[in-house]
Every structure is written in C-alpha cells, then in structure tokens.
Structure 1
Amino acid sequence: MEDRALVVVRAPSISDPAALADALVAGGLRAVELTFTTPNVLDCLRAASSSGAVMGAGTVITGDQARAAIDAGARFLVTPGLRPDVAAVAHERDVPVMMGALTPTEIMAALDLGAAAVKVFPAKLFGPSYFGDLRGPFPDVPLVPSGGVNADNAADYLARGAVAVTAGTDVVPPAAVAAGLWDDITARATSFVHSLSR
C-alpha cells in the first residue's frame, strides 16, 4: 500500500463526489473508498474517477458489485469479510482487493484468496496492541485497521505494525459530505494526516 491512510466515505448522500475527492486530496488523503452502502455509489465513482484521488469501492460483497465498481472507475476493492467471488473478479480484472478479516484464521484465508492487503475489522475490538500480536505470525502481511481508527490512535496502529490506517467519519462526517463542506473536510483530512507522525 503506497499511502499510509485511506479514507472510507459512508454517507447517505454525496453532493459532489469530485469535489469531495479533491478536498480529501488537498488534505493529504489520496486513497478514497466509497462504500456500496452509499446511494448511487456507482454514479459517485464515475463522477470522482477523473479527480486526483485513487478511487475505490468498499463494502463489496458480490462479484456483480465488483464488476460494476471496476467499470465505474474503482481502482481497488474492499470487502467487509471473505468474499471469494469478489476476489475472483478482482484478479480477473487485475484490480487489488483488500479483504476484511479479524482472526488469524481469517487473515490466512484472505491471503489464500489473493488479497493484496487485509482489512482488520472491526479493529476497535482489540485495539492497536492486537497488531503487535499479529506481527509475530504475519510479519510480511499488509494489515490495515478499520473501524474505530481516529486521530488519537492512528499513529499507534502504525507503530504496532499496520501498513496503513483507515479514516472514517472523523474526517468525512456524513452531514459535512452531504452539505458540501469541502474546506472543513480538507482541514479534517490535514489534521488526520498530521496525527500519523505523532
């Protein structure tokens, strides 16, 4: 994973997907995941795919969703759990997939499916110290915590062995996304990025 953070946008509406992506890039967050729980997510991906962000699709559960997301411009896919059909489409289309897992057994299954990285979700269940524990058996596996990661604990996850972290509603509050508060979102992104080097 090239960047140390990726932002997950989960909102009931996105007023201007390209402006959102540009606001996040201006704040230092290039990798942007739009989840399939967002209405009209495929239209949003299309609209933002020409921005300077690396756009991806999250909460991808089916092979059909994976195909549609890639066709809409997604450059990476993220699943909440182990999804063989999504992995098959990702490999067929040469698009990296980050699969969700929590336990060592699930992490190994994600690797068997060809995951480029493993999203450890929900990370808040065990916190940053869990990543130190996982580094023992998985020293070379790219692990990315998701769920409960914020500016207060993101650097700790990185220090314990995460290759990158996810930013969520602290950076992209659904109300700010819907209202188009791009300057606020840029400021939040900048603050989050600065927190990574604490």
Structure 2
Amino acid sequence: MTTRPPSAAQAIRDSRLLAILRGPDVDRLADVAEVLVSQGIRALEFPIARPEVLSVVTKIANRLGDTAWLGAGTVRNVADAQRAIDAGAAFLVAPSMSMEVVDYARERGIGFVPGVFTPSEIDAATQAGAEVVKLFPASSHSPRFIRQLLPPLPDAGIMPTGTITREDAREWLDAGAVALGVGSDLVGDSMRTGDYDAARTSAREWLKIVADTV
C-alpha cells in the first residue's frame, strides 16, 4: 500500500470519494475498510452514533497505519469530537455546521468536514477553513445547485453526500463537486454478508467512474 496523502482533504479530493462505512456487524468494518484502501480509496468515514464504533476506529487505525485517513462521522458537538480524536480519528465529519466543533478541530490540528445545506453555510464553512464541505442531504439538491453556486463561491470544495449512486455520480462531479460521499452504493451487502470480493469489485468500479469524470 502507498503512503496516504498529506491531509484528509487532499485524500478526499485525490480519490474523489469519501467511503462511508456503517453496518450491523461492527467486526466487519475493519475488513471492509482494508479492502477499500487496498483498491485506492484513501479516506474513510465511520459514523459514531453507535458508541462501539469508536473501538473499531482504534482497531482500523492501528491496522492501516499511515495508508489511509480515518474519520469519525456524525460528530455533532465537542464531546463527540473529543471521543473520536481520542479513539484515533484523523478527521471529523458532521451532518451540520457547528462553529464550536470547527474551532475545536482547528485547535487540535484535526481536519473537519462540516455538513452544509445553504449557500450561507457553505460560505461560512469555507471561510472558516474547511477545504471540503459535505452537502447534505444531497438528495434534496441537484447538480444544478452546485453549478450555479460555484461562480460566486469558486473556492468551495463541495462534496455531495446522501443517496449518491453510480447513475448520478458523473452529473454531480461534472457540475463541480470535488468528491462524493458514498455509503451503501459503494459497500453494498458486503458489511452484512462478508462478501469482500464484492466490496473490492465495487471499489474498483467507483474509482473508475470518478476517474472518468472530467
């Protein structure tokens, strides 16, 4: 495996994907994560709404070392952020825009991907230093939203997240998204069935989709 990029934001931008891993069997999270990283995905998010996921983040961080950036998702407050960083998360992802968490992450030297929905939130997050912002839920927007937003906010690194599929991935990226946050359409049933070959094939397919987009 190659060494990871110098920052989580760069890893997300380079592969144009943030893999979101969740599932009922937390013991399989580490195995699926390793499969995705082996195929070239360098940034992974693990939503921490279930507390036991934090122990998995620690396990994966120890297993993968500096080959990938591991992030904690669903970080809503400073307490969540502190628990995630203590568990080994190298960056934080939120469903919403919390300046308190942004400030805390900056103080700790940790990358932060805030959740945004409006032009005002996107601008505020970008001016606060977020190199990538999570447009969530993307299903409530359209690629045209990004296309119209980028002329006045050209430095916004927008990552649509929420029900992104292979069918609409190109349209989002062609509209100007820097990356896509993808969960179920990338991981499929592998978290439930343990079919890691399917996860490996899916990762290759997704990386080809985003690489072919210009």
Q: Which amino acid aligns with 2:55?
A: D
Deviation at 1:39, TM superposition (A): 4.8
1:12 matched to 2:37? The reply is: no
Deviation at 1:184, TM superposition (A): 1.2
- Residues 14-33 of structure 1 mapped to structure 2, 5 A cutoff: 14-33=26-45
SS of residue in 1 equivalent to 2:173: helix
Normalised by the size of structure 2, how large is the TM-score? 0.85
Whether the 8 Å CA contact 2:134–2:161 is kept in 1: the answer is yes
Deviation at 1:66, TM superposition (A): 0.6
Give the distance between the partners of 1:39 and 1:63, measured in 2 at CA. 15
Give the distance between the partners of 2:156 and 2:98, measured in 1 at CA. 18
SS of residue in 2 equivalent to 1:42: helix
Query: Size of the alignment, in residue pairs?
Result: 197
The correspondence for 1:126, drawn from 115, 138, 141, is 141
Aligned to 1:47: 59
Greater relative contact order, per chain length (Cα 8 Å cut-off, separation 6+): 1
SS of residue in 2 equivalent to 1:90: helix
Normalised by the size of structure 1, how large is the TM-score? 0.91
Aligned to 1:192: 206
Deviation at 1:156, TM superposition (A): 1.8
Give me the identity figure in percent: 36
Whether the 8 Å CA contact 1:10–1:38 is kept in 2: the answer is no
- Which structure carries more helix by proportion? 2
Give the distance between the partners of 1:143 and 1:69, measured in 2 at CA. 23
1:28/1:152 Cα in 2 relative to 1: closer, same or farther (>3 Å)? farther
SS of residue in 2 equivalent to 1:57: strand
Give the distance between the partners of 2:166 and 2:43, measured in 1 at CA. 17
User: Which stretches in structure 1 are left out of the alignment for 5+ residues?
Assistant: none
Give the distance between the partners of 2:161 and 2:126, measured in 1 at CA. 18
C-alpha RMSD of the superposition: 1.7
User: Which stretches in structure 2 are left out of the alignment for 5+ residues?
Assistant: 1-8
SS of residue in 2 equivalent to 1:124: helix
1:178/1:53 Cα in 2 relative to 1: closer, same or farther (>3 Å)? farther
